[in-house]
Amino acid sequence: MTKKLLCVGGARPNFMKLAPLVRELGNRPRFQPLLVHTGQHYDDRMSGAFFRDLGMPDPAHFLEVGSGSHAVQTAEIMKRIEPVCESERPAAVIVVGDVNSTVAAALVAAKMGIPVVHVEAGLRSFDRGMPEEINRLVTDSISDLLLVTEESGKRNLLKEGAPESRVVVVGNLMIDSLVANLEQARARPALTDATGKYGVVTLHRPANVDSPEQFSAILQALDEISQTLPIYFPVHPRTRARLSGTLSPGIRLLEPLGYLDFLSLMSRASVVLTDSGGIQEETTALGIPCLTLRENTERPITIDEGTNRLAGTSTEGILAAWKEHLREPKVGRIPAFWDGRAASRCADALESFLFT
């Protein structure tokens, strides 16, 4: 008997994780994956280009939620996904990551008695001031199957009382997409005019870009770094709306990039500065030093085993981490199960969960 699975995503990182999983599930006769795009990221630059680059099928359901406050967006997703669950009656709802689409779909499914599968479960920053941390905690607490990228996630879940039988370490779907697309990305023409080394920066978290003081402190550090290393900065729409004044000539602003163009740019960089969780993982897989512009990370394996350093968000902290990087660039290793085969292990876990 074929099991119908709703695979829910709404933001760019979701699609990078769903692409290999939907492909793998579609190749297994026991499953019928149906992609649901909530529309949390809704313009072509923020989601459409990713669908094309990742070779994803058109969504079976596009909810067109759009932007809004956390409460408004979460509520709207819940309102719009409930009829989808009622009409499709899936065997399970699969959610990924930690965005509003994740928690909203999980809540609706759990209340309807539909099993919830959380991919990338158990990650914790231990900072409840992060909206994503609340989403992670709530989603994990109501999920029936918890698929984990790294051992710290499993430890966190067991400490919180999750049954060990429902926790499976499968690896990292983000790295599946990277492995599958890296050669194609590197074959693309370079996006920069840099003749030597350069850095890449991404900034999008509200805590960093919505506070004028904090955003200014970060930009001040980037300005100093750019005096000796050109920096390329693909600018998230949220971030661009808050940019004012003139940046250093060493900081080159770019429009938001599709998945392959950004992977091409990042894979050639000598260092990446970011507040993104997924980029911490990708740089570790690529062996590129990363300075994380945050006070904490829910992905400790990128520090313990990978190439990541926490730089903080103050000018002084970022520059101290930069100087440490110059003295001793971090050399890491690729964590266990970050091998491009996480989708297969996810599908195996789903078969075991739904058919035994």
- Residue of 296, 295, 290, 294 lying closest to 309 (CA atoms): 290
**Does residue 193 register a pLDDT over 90?**
no
Closest to 46 in 3D by CA, of 30, 33, 23, 65: 65
Beta bridge partners of 232: 200, 252
Residue 247 to residue 316: CA distance in whole angstroms: 19
Rg (C-alpha) for the chain, rounded Å, is 20
pTM (2 decimals)?
A: 0.95
- For the stretch 122-180, pLDDT in tens is 999 999 999 999 999 999 999 999 999 999 999 999 999 999 999 999 999 999 999 99
Question: Mean per-residue pLDDT for 26-49?
Answer: 82
Q: Which of 93-107, 241-255, 261-275 has the lowest mean pLDDT?
A: 241-255
CATH no. for 183-327 = 3.40.50.2000
Q: CATH 3.40.50.2000 in the chain, residues? A: 3-172+338-355, 183-327
Active-site entry in 61, 204, 236, 325: 204
pLDDT tens across 287-329, in order?
Answer: 999 999 999 999 999 999 999 999 999 999 999 999 999 999 9
Q: What's the order of all strands across the beta sheet hosting 116-119?
A: 61-62, 31-37, 3-9, 92-96, 116-119, 145-148, 167-169
- Amino acid type, 198: Y
Whole-angstrom Cα distance, residue 302 to residue 298? 9
Phi first, then psi: give them for residue 201, nearest 5 degrees: -130, 140
Mean pLDDT on 37-57? 76
Positive or negative, the Cα torsion across 102, 107, 109, 113?
A: positive
Measured N-to-C along each axis, helices 315-327 and 212-225 cross at an angle, to the nearest 10 degrees, of 30
In this prediction, residue 66 has a pLDDT band, given cuts at 50, 70 and 90, of: confident
Written out in words, the top-level CATH class of the domain with range 3-172+338-355 is: alpha beta
325 is catalytic: no
